[in-house]
């Protein structure tokens, strides 16, 4: 019952006042709703230097759904 009553607060984007200015990579599968487009502003507010990348044909387990693309995106970010 408590989870149902507080779902919006639990499921919503966290309220964080600090920022991290280092390079940060967010990776999501294009078949997942884990990082919806309407949350990008919230991500950039906390992580101003973030990169947000979507991997095609991947859901929430993008590393398993499209491992080659996951490794490519991650390696490219780490080498930049």
- Residue 75 pLDDT exceeds 80: yes
Q: Residue 58: inside a domain, yes or no?
A: yes
* Gap between the Cα atoms of 78 and 21, Å rounded: 16
Domain assignment of residue 25, given as a range: 20-78
For residue 9, what pLDDT is reported? 72
The pTM score is: 0.77
Q: Residue 6: inside a domain, yes or no?
A: no
pLDDT tier for residue 6 given thresholds of 50, 70 and 90 = confident
Burial of 26 (0-12, 13-18, 19+ CB in 10 A): middle
- Residue 33 pLDDT exceeds 70: yes
SS3 9: helix
pLDDT tier for residue 16 given thresholds of 50, 70 and 90 = confident
Q: Do the beta carbons of residue 48 and residue 21 sit within 8 Å? A: yes
Q: Residue 30: inside a domain, yes or no?
A: yes
Number of domains observed in the structure of the chain: 1
Q: Residue 8: inside a domain, yes or no?
A: no
Token representation of residue 23 = 């390079």
Q: Residue 71: inside a domain, yes or no?
A: yes
Residues 49-75, mean pLDDT to the nearest whole number? 97
Q: Residue 44: inside a domain, yes or no?
A: yes
């Amino acid at each position: 019952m408590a989870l149902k009553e507080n779902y919006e607060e639990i499921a919503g984007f966290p309220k964080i006042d600090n920022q991290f200015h280092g390079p940060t990579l967010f990776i999501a599968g294009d078949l997942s709703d884990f990082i919806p487009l309407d949350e990008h502003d919230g991500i950039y507010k906390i992580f101003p230097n973030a990169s947000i990348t979507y991997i095609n044909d991947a859901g929430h387990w993008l590393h398993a759904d499209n491992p080659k693309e996951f490794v490519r995106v991650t390696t490219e970010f780490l080498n930049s």
